[in-house]
Amino acid sequence: MLKILDFFDYAKSESLWMAHFCTGCCSLEMAAAMGPRYDWERYGYMPTPTPRQADILIITGLVTKKMLPALLRTYAQIPEPKYILALGACSFDGGPYNDSLAVIKNPTEILPADVFVAGCPPKPEAIINGMEEIKQKMKKGVPSAASQGGLWKEMKF
Amino acid sequence: MQTLFNIVVFPGILYILAWTVLLFWFFRKFMAALHKRVGPSFNGPMGTYQTLFDLSKLLTKESITPKGVNPYLFSLMPLLALSIAILPTALIPWTPDITVAKSSYGLLGLVVLIGIEPFILFLTGFGSNNKYSFLGGIRILTQMISMETSFFLAALSPAILFSTLNLNSIIQQSSWLSFAILLPGFVLYFIALLGLLEQPPFNIPDAEQEIVYGFYTEYSGTNYFLLKVSEFSEFMAVFAGAVTLFLGGYKGLFFDGFSFLFAKMLIVAMIMMAIRASTPRITMKQMLMFSWKYLVPLSLVNIAWIMIAKILFFGGM
Amino acid sequence: MDTLKEILSSFESEYIENYKPTWLKVKIAHSADLLQVAKALKESGLKTISTVSATDFIEDNRIEMNYFFEDMLNRRNCWLKCDISRELENCKIDSITPLFKGASWHERETFSMFGVKFTGHDDLRPIIISQDYYGKNPFRKDFDWDTHEANTVENINLIADSFKREEAENEKNIDPNSSETVLNWGPTHPASGPIRLKVHCDGEDIIGIDPDIGFVWRALEHLVTKKDFVGAIVAVERLCFMDNINSMLSYAQAVEEIADVQITEFAKWMRVILGEVARISSHMMGMGGFYNAMGLHTVAMWNMDMREFFLDFLESYSGARIATASIEPGGVRYPLQKEMLVELQAALDKFDNTKEDIRAIFVKNPTMRLRASKLGFITEDEVHDYALCGVVARASGVKTDIRIDEPYAAYDKIKMDYVTQENGSSQDRLIQLFQEIEQSVDIIKQAKEHVEQKIQSKEFNPIKDHMVKVPKKLPKGEAISRVEWARGEVLMHLVTDEKAKSPYRLKMKAPSFNNTMMLNHLLKGKTLSDIPLVFGSLYICQGDLDR
Q: What is the pLDDT along chain C (547 residues), one digit of tens a residue?
A: 777 778 777 778 888 888 888 888 888 888 888 888 888 888 888 888 888 888 888 888 888 888 988 888 888 888 888 888 888 888 888 888 888 888 888 888 888 888 888 888 888 888 888 888 888 888 888 888 888 877 777 888 888 888 888 888 887 877 777 778 888 887 888 888 888 888 888 878 888 888 888 888 888 888 888 888 888 888 888 888 888 888 888 899 888 888 888 888 888 888 899 889 999 999 998 888 888 888 888 888 898 888 999 998 988 888 888 888 888 888 888 888 888 888 889 889 989 998 888 888 888 888 888 888 888 888 888 888 888 888 888 888 888 888 888 888 888 888 888 888 888 888 888 899 899 999 999 999 989 898 888 888 888 887 888 888 888 888 888 888 888 888 888 888 988 888 888 888 888 888 888 888 888 888 888 888 888 888 888 888 888 888 8
At residue C284, what is the residue type?
A: M
Subunit contact C371:B131, Cβ cutoff 8 A? no
Out of C215, C300, C322, name the one closest to residue A28 (CB). C322
Taking CA atoms, what residue in C is nearest to B203? C295
Number of domains in chain A: 1
pLDDT at residue B317 is higher than 80: no
Out of C218, C242, C307, name the one closest to residue A62 (CB). C218
Q: Which residues make beta-bridge pairs with C183?
A: C199
Local structure of B252: helix, strand or coil: coil
Mutant choice from C189, C204, C534 vs B, greatest count of B C-beta within 10 A: C204
d(CA B110, CA A123): 51
Q: Provide the pLDDT for residue B301.
A: 92
pLDDT at residue B316 is higher than 80: no
- Nearest Cα of chain A lies from the Cα of C188 at a distance, in angstroms, of 5
Local structure of C206: helix, strand or coil: strand
Out of B32, B37, B220, name the one closest to residue A53 (CB). B220
Subunit contact C242:A28, Cβ cutoff 8 A? yes
Of B16-20, B97-101, B146-150, B272-276, the one with minimum mean pLDDT is B97-101
Subunit contact A25:C543, Cβ cutoff 8 A? yes
Alpha helices in B279-295, H assignment, sequence order: 284-290
Q: How confident is the model at residue B248 (pLDDT cuts 50, 70, 90)?
A: confident
Please, are residues A124 and A29 in contact by the beta-carbon 8 Å criterion?
yes
Residue B279 with chain C: CB contacts under 8 Å: 296, 365, 367
Antiparallel, parallel or unpaired: β A46-48 and A83-87: unpaired
Structure confidence by residue, pLDDT tens digits, B40-69: 888 888 888 888 888 888 888 888 888 888
- Nearest Cα of chain C lies from the Cα of B226 at a distance, in angstroms, of 23
Mutant choice from C218, C228, C240, C316 vs A, greatest count of A C-beta within 10 A: C218
State pTM to two decimals: 0.89
The sheet with strand C505-509 has its strands ordered as C477-484, C489-496, C505-509
The residue among C78, C56, C528 whose CA lies nearest residue B283 is C528
Please, are residues C466 and C334 in contact by the beta-carbon 8 Å criterion?
yes
Taking CA atoms, what residue in C is nearest to A63? C216
Taking CA atoms, what residue in A is nearest to C237? A96
Q: Which long-range contacts (CB under 8 A, 24 or more apart) does A149-154 make?
A: A149/A112, A150/A109, A150/A110, A150/A111, A150/A112, A151/A109, A151/A110, A151/A111, A151/C153, A152/A72, A152/A75, A152/A110, A152/A111, A154/C153
Residue B97, judged by CB atoms within 10 A of its CB (0-12, 13-18, 19+), counts as exposed
| Annotated domain spans of chain B | 67-314
Subunit contact C295:B211, Cβ cutoff 8 A? no
Mean pLDDT of B185-201: 87
pLDDT at residue A131 is higher than 70: yes
At residue C149, what is the residue type?
A: E
**Chain C: partners with 3+ C-beta pairs within 8 Å:** A, B
The residue among C380, C358, C373 whose CA lies nearest residue C434 is C358
Subunit contact C371:B283, Cβ cutoff 8 A? yes
Structure confidence by residue, pLDDT tens digits, A43-74: 888 888 888 888 898 888 888 888 888 888 88
Predicted complex: ipTM over 0.95: no
Taking CA atoms, what residue in A is nearest to C541? A25
Q: Residues spanned by CATH 3.30.460.80 within chain C?
A: 2-139
Mutant choice from B283, B284, B285, B293 vs C, greatest count of C C-beta within 10 A: B283
Please, are residues C94 and C80 in contact by the beta-carbon 8 Å criterion?
no
The answer to whether B33 contacts chain A (CB < 8 Å) is no
d(CA C344, CA C316): 10
Q: Which domain range does residue A6 map to?
A: 2-154
Q: Which of residues 11-40 of A touch B (CB under 8 A)?
A: 11-12, 14-15, 17, 35-36, 39
Residue B201 with chain C: CB contacts under 8 Å: 367
Residue C453, judged by CB atoms within 10 A of its CB (0-12, 13-18, 19+), counts as exposed
d(CA C425, CA B179): 44
- Nearest Cα of chain A lies from the Cα of C15 at a distance, in angstroms, of 36
Core vs surface per residue C387-414: b (16+ CB within 10 A) or e: bbbbbbbbbbbbebbbbbbbbbbbbeeb
Structure confidence by residue, pLDDT tens digits, A4-44: 778 888 888 888 888 888 888 888 888 888 889 898 888 88
Out of B138, B277, B280, name the one closest to residue C294 (CB). B280
pLDDT at residue B100 is higher than 80: no
Domain C2-139 matching CATH 3.20.20.110: the answer reads: no
Q: Residues spanned by CATH 1.10.645.10 within chain C?
A: 264-329+336-470
d(CA C188, CA C45): 43
Q: Which of residues 44-83 of B touch A (CB under 8 A)?
A: 47, 49-50, 52-54, 56-64
Please, are residues A39 and A66 in contact by the beta-carbon 8 Å criterion?
no
What CATH number was assigned to the domain covering residues C264-329+336-470?
Answer: 1.10.645.10
Subunit contact C129:A62, Cβ cutoff 8 A? no
Q: B259: Cβ–Cβ under 8 A, 6 or more apart, which residues?
A: B252
Kindly report the CATH number assigned to the domain that includes residue A87.
3.40.50.12280
